[in-house]
Structure 1
Amino acid sequence: MCGIFGTVNWPHDSPAYLRGSLLHRGPNEQRDWRQDNVYLFHARLAIQDLSPGGRQPMTYGIYTIIFNGEIYNHKQLRQRYNLSCQSSSDTETLLHLFVLLGLKMLDQLDGMFAFALYDTKAQTILLVRDRAGKKPLYVYQHNNQLAFSSELNALAAYLPLSVDDQALARYLRVGFLYGQQTPYCNVMELPAGHYAEIDCRTGTLAISSWWDITAFAQQVRPILETEALEQVDTCLRKAVNQRIDSSDLEVGVFLSGGIDSGLITAMAAQFKPGIRSFTVSFANGEYDEAPLARLVADRYQTKHKEVRLSFERLQDDIERIIAGYGEPFMDSSAIPSYYVAQAARKHLTVILNGDGADELFGGYRRYVPAARFDFNNFPSVVQRSADVLYRSLPYPTNKKSRYNFAYRMLDMARKSGLERYLSATTDVFENYTEAFYQPVPLADLAGALDRLRMSGLSSLQQMQVADFQTILPGNLLVKMDIATMAHSLEGRSPFLAKDLLELAPTLPDSLKIHSTTTKYLLRQLAKKYLPQKLIDQPKRGFEVPLKQWMDKQLKTVVCDYLAEPQLAQRYIRREFISKLINQPDKFPAEKRAKMLYSLFAMEVWYRKAVRND
């Protein structure tokens, strides 16, 4: 795992502070390279091949590469294609493989990656991002000048950027920045499973897709549960083993109280007895995962550490944590993710996690109604009736109750495709759209959902694919990448292995949602590895007591930022912000906490990361 940066047609040298802006991603070594009108910079976190043989930028023939990520099957690829390399670095494998296969090599790679490959003869740069979007890559383009980087903050430190008001309004409306959107004008994120070709002579850029999960979701095949269980077990064990084996440094695991990280921990402990595991502990019992995580740690005798979140530290660190994302980021689980990564880095350099399991295997509660009803084809009379009934019912106070489930079902039944998807996912301002000064344009997201609706996929598949293409790369993977790399820690996700990405979408809906049981197949697999008490628990992640924080521990700093907002008032009415702060009884408590935090995160990002106050 590393940090990369590059420019095309830029007249001046890279400033010294560029090294500092990516130092946390690559503290071992920082090197650069310049030829013609191209500049490449690499910050190295050495994990595979710790010798000078793994140095970057790396040149082979007419090609020079800067690479961020890991190719877990690169040793097998060397053998398969009889590659003659001088080092044991996966970067060198990648270079040799490209010379042999060109872009066709991408189909062979099992890993996480974002890289830039310069062809000195053709004067072109190839930018590539992995299937799921594990590794980030942002691109600035204006006139014939381009720059690209692993982090937005590095671009913001180097370039005269201005904020994109439309993108920021979408952030508030949707809950995250999706697709190619970033908070800056002229800066886009290269989408997952895509590559871009840059003509360095003209400064033009063309983007193409090289992998799409939809194609696999369209190939659902009949399969016995026992056979599917065996295949998933085999693929996941292989993925865990590869992600442990392809590191020359110690590997650990993030362990929450859920099935996904529990399975990863169980398998990892079998391959590496005594592996270190880490979890977050809260004083608030409702959110404390430590007792469940301890069940797994005790069963597999891991070297377990519980990271107790200190509210005193949180008050000191919250602004730095938010600003580190380089964009407004409203997912409050970024906070415990930051602290557990910090604790892990004191002991090791590589950490495994359970990211991707929910999107691939049906882990969210919102998938249950999608599996049972085809909301896209509800008659209008049903939608109107559902709307009348929904409006007559009180807002649920317990999100885990049956009443909340029925309430959400009615909400989904009464809405159109776009509104339904937003409501079911991360729509923080749902039912409060009047807070915006003007409607937020979401035609691109609506169009993507319409294309999925016409693709022949089931309602459940449509929602899973939409989540895989939006929330996973736009929110969840961003969170883990920034949280881990802030401490020079590499996060690896076995569920996002090539084999599982190609297998899971082909499994029938009944193996994902069974009656009202989410993640059915993984729960069956968990019976082989995990305590029953953990299997019966609802989905967990690094959840936080956000309402308590907004009302107590973070109340002062949140109010200080929102009393005189510098950015949020461009999109949200001032009187609404004031009402959120001063009239808490006018809103459902959890809803209010999320809206406050989303606005607070935007303000902190703007003042600390953009204006450098």
Structure 2
Amino acid sequence: MCGFIGIVSANEQALYEQPMKQMMDVITHRGPDDSGVFEDKYVRLGFQRLSIVDLEGGHQPMSYLNARYTIIFNGEIYNAPELREELMDMGATFETHSDTEVILASYHYYGEECLNKFKGMFSFLIWDKNKERLFGARDPFGIKPLFYRTLRDGTVVFASEKKSLFFINEPAYIDGEAAFHYLTFQYIPEPHTATSKIDKVAPGHSLSWRPGESLHLRCYWKPEFLPKEEFSKKAVNFLLAPFKRKALLAEKNNVQTEIRETLIDSVKRHMRSDVPVGAFLSGGIDSSAIVAIARQYHPDLNTFTAEFDREGYSEGDVAEETAEALDVNHRRVKISVEDVMNEFPKIIWHMDEPVADPAAIPLYFVAQEASKHVKVVLSGEGADELFGGYNIYREPQSLGVFKGIPSPLKPIVKNLAQRLPMGMKGRSFLIRGCTPLEERFVGNAKIFTDDEKDKILIPGSPNWKTNDIVKHLYEDSKAYDDVTRMQYVDMHTWLRGDILVKADKMTMAHSLELRVPFLDRDVFDVASRIPLHGKVHGHQTKVWLREALGDVVPAHVLHRKKLGFPVPIRIWLKDEMYDWARSWITNSQTDHLFNKKECLQLLEDHRQGKFDASRKIWTILTYMIWHYNYMENSHDEGEQYMWNIG
């Protein structure tokens, strides 16, 4: 695991204008064990490494075939041993046991098709000296980050963390449209970022660059689910033909067996390491399944849970019960409101981007504790998106009664419902039931509506529309049922823009490597073939996953309602955090972005209990603190604070 910097330019002088050392120093937390620099015509590569496997043989930048190829690589290739054997049969030779060298050999023998050989998480850049060509890629799900910035002279700079790109000798500016979308999603949808001209390489994409040419990006993988027609045929057969019913039940059992076996294989691969491996453990099925399987291969497994010192906001007791049932070493981390207020600016600095998910808080503190005992942790991210785990995925089923209302009448009913008093029982249900999925669902979080943003956000454009972000995703997913379309939207927005960002940044803040066994292409392949009733049925989500893991996960976890990471910001912002939040809003130099009067009124209304505005306030605060770290304290005297808190 590491952080890296890559600079390519057809102009040698421009190549050396960028402060490589400063860019690398600011991401030392990603790789405190080793560092290295490679320089050649048109290219400079810098690297910081956290050693997980084979320190002596894994030094980077690494070269291959008499220095024809040189790579910088962030991630892990879990099937590297199998690929090494396959490549050796083709004539490849190796000087190390590093997965980094396996990537280089795979690129030499398979070309760009090597990307479909890798099982793991990765972002990397390879310089081919003979062809004077840079090739790079990001893993299919976006587990590992890769930012880039194209300068006025054509120079392209890549980085594992965006903060490195603020050292570039061209100013970075706030992107107003990105701020608009941030207020909807609580993060900025990829590939864009909060600042103009700094972007991310999208998950499942590769890149190439040659002197005199612009950067070229190509999609090599995207998630595809089984079309709803296939599921519909099976459902009809199940109802109309009893003799086919038996075959369909057998198919269900086969798929569930495949789910269990594929997940076990994935966990086993993800545990390959020369250093201690632990796991995060909450009260849910996802992390419990990972721990239960990992425990079979590592009996002395260490597990970790975060909790808050406020009643009703802790999964610590359930996690403790699970740990006892699975017989693993367990540690609980208790977090106070003072801890949060003291550390939150640093948390946002590590986040790189404004990401207002409160769940980042317990993740930061539990990673801090875990880093004292292990270098690698397993976690359950991705299970909800792949297997249909979010409670919102039950909505199409609950809104099924509206299918009987003729389409021309729905706008009339919706208009009447909108005139009902706010908070009136049934109002939201009527509005959502008469609103097409494409308009009502933009992902797992929707913080501000466009009308609300008109009051809060100062810059604006009539051309900015929330649904523009997901419009092409709904177009691509026409063949899917509504729940699968929601999964598809979340995989392209929520998963890569929120879940995996905080997972990577909060663990790497403490030089801890996080691995996510659910986000494996083999696991996704099985999940993509699960029919609707195998995802959501009645009040239950992840139906077939739960059934598949029935003999793996403790009974008290199996059918427990999903809670996520409950964070008491609703209470804090009324009480202990009120003055803290008011001070941040008042002193923030974001008057050109936010209507401060409206922001403060929102905080006051929340304090008085008029309505729960905690998520809205948290979204505003997060952006303001990000702005303080990165825009108010840029390259003048204020810069010192920005880097010191890191």
The answer to whether TM tops 0.5 is yes
User: Which of 445, 464, 485 is the matching residue for 1:426?
Assistant: 445
Q: Which moved further from structure 2: 511-520 or 524-533?
A: 524-533
> For residue 29 of structure 2, what is the aligned residue in structure 1?
24
Whether the 8 Å CA contact 1:279–1:305 is kept in 2: the answer is yes
How far does residue 343 in structure 1 lie from its aligned partner after superposition?
A: 0.2
SS of corresponding position for 1:204: coil
Whether the 8 Å CA contact 1:341–1:484 is kept in 2: the answer is yes
SS of corresponding position for 1:578: helix
User: Which of 601, 606, 611 is the matching residue for 2:627?
Assistant: 606
- Does residue 189 (structure 1) correspond to residue 209 (structure 2)? The answer is no
Amino acid at match of 2:71: I
- Does residue 565 (structure 1) correspond to residue 575 (structure 2)? The answer is no
TM-score by length of 2: 0.88
Whether the 8 Å CA contact 1:382–1:414 is kept in 2: the answer is yes
Amino acid at match of 1:475: D
Aligned partners of 1:509 and 1:56: how far apart in 2?
A: 46
TM-score by length of 1: 0.92
Quote the sequence identity (%).
29
* 1:196-275 to 2 correspondences below 5 Å: 196-199=207-210, 201-214=211-224, 224-244=251-271, 246-275=272-301
1:446/1:471 Cα in 2 relative to 1: closer, same or farther (>3 Å)? closer
* 1:221-370 to 2 correspondences below 5 Å: 224-244=251-271, 246-370=272-396
1:220/1:122 Cα in 2 relative to 1: closer, same or farther (>3 Å)? farther
Amino acid at match of 1:118: W
> For residue 399 of structure 1, what is the aligned residue in structure 2?
none
User: Which of 407, 410, 413 is the matching residue for 1:379?
Assistant: 407
Amino acid at match of 1:154: S
Aligned residues: 598
Whether the 8 Å CA contact 1:338–1:483 is kept in 2: the answer is yes
> For residue 435 of structure 2, what is the aligned residue in structure 1?
415
* 1:467-482 to 2 correspondences below 5 Å: 467-482=490-505
How far does residue 107 in structure 1 lie from its aligned partner after superposition?
A: 1.0
> For residue 471 of structure 2, what is the aligned residue in structure 1?
447
Whether the 8 Å CA contact 2:187–2:497 is kept in 1: the answer is yes
> For residue 149 of structure 1, what is the aligned residue in structure 2?
159
Aligned partners of 2:228 and 2:220: how far apart in 1?
A: 17
How far does residue 607 in structure 1 lie from its aligned partner after superposition?
A: 1.0
> For residue 63 of structure 2, what is the aligned residue in structure 1?
59
- Does residue 486 (structure 1) correspond to residue 509 (structure 2)? The answer is yes
SS of corresponding position for 1:445: helix
Whether the 8 Å CA contact 1:296–1:531 is kept in 2: the answer is yes
> For residue 400 of structure 1, what is the aligned residue in structure 2?
none
Deviations 1:261-316 (A, max 9, x none): 01111111111112000001222232210111112100111110000112222222
Higher-Rg structure is: 2
Deviations 1:108-163 (A, max 9, x none): 11100000111112222112000100000011012311101110111113453222
Aligned partners of 2:417 and 2:180: how far apart in 1?
A: 31
Aligned partners of 1:464 and 1:218: how far apart in 2?
A: 13
1:181/1:219 Cα in 2 relative to 1: closer, same or farther (>3 Å)? farther
SS of corresponding position for 2:574: helix
Q: Which moved further from structure 2: 156-165 or 93-102?
A: 156-165
1:72/1:134 Cα in 2 relative to 1: closer, same or farther (>3 Å)? same
Whether the 8 Å CA contact 1:371–1:509 is kept in 2: the answer is no
- Does residue 574 (structure 1) correspond to residue 600 (structure 2)? The answer is no
Aligned partners of 2:287 and 2:396: how far apart in 1?
A: 25
SS of corresponding position for 2:550: helix
1:56/1:445 Cα in 2 relative to 1: closer, same or farther (>3 Å)? same
1:312/1:443 Cα in 2 relative to 1: closer, same or farther (>3 Å)? closer
> Structure 2: any 5+ residue segments left out of the alignment?
10-14, 235-247, 639-646
> For residue 81 of structure 2, what is the aligned residue in structure 1?
75
User: Which of 539, 560, 575 is the matching residue for 1:537?
Assistant: 560
Whether the 8 Å CA contact 1:113–1:129 is kept in 2: the answer is yes
Amino acid at match of 1:70: E
Amino acid at match of 2:207: A
Deviations 1:513-535 (A, max 9, x none): 11231111122234212333322
Amino acid at match of 1:290: G
Amino acid at match of 1:132: F
User: Which of 497, 506, 512 is the matching residue for 2:520?
Assistant: 497
How far does residue 393 in structure 1 lie from its aligned partner after superposition?
A: 6.1
User: Which of 172, 176, 192 is the matching residue for 2:183?
Assistant: 172
Aligned partners of 1:220 and 1:89: how far apart in 2?
A: 43
SS of corresponding position for 1:496: coil
1:587/1:101 Cα in 2 relative to 1: closer, same or farther (>3 Å)? farther
1:510/1:262 Cα in 2 relative to 1: closer, same or farther (>3 Å)? same
SS of corresponding position for 1:494: coil
> Structure 1: any 5+ residue segments left out of the alignment?
397-402
Whether the 8 Å CA contact 1:116–1:126 is kept in 2: the answer is yes
Deviations 1:389-417 (A, max 9, x none): 36536538xxxxxx7xx766434323344
Q: Which moved further from structure 2: 332-341 or 151-160?
A: 151-160
Whether the 8 Å CA contact 1:220–1:505 is kept in 2: the answer is no
Deviations 1:170-191 (A, max 9, x none): 1112321112111111111111
How far does residue 498 in structure 1 lie from its aligned partner after superposition?
A: 1.8
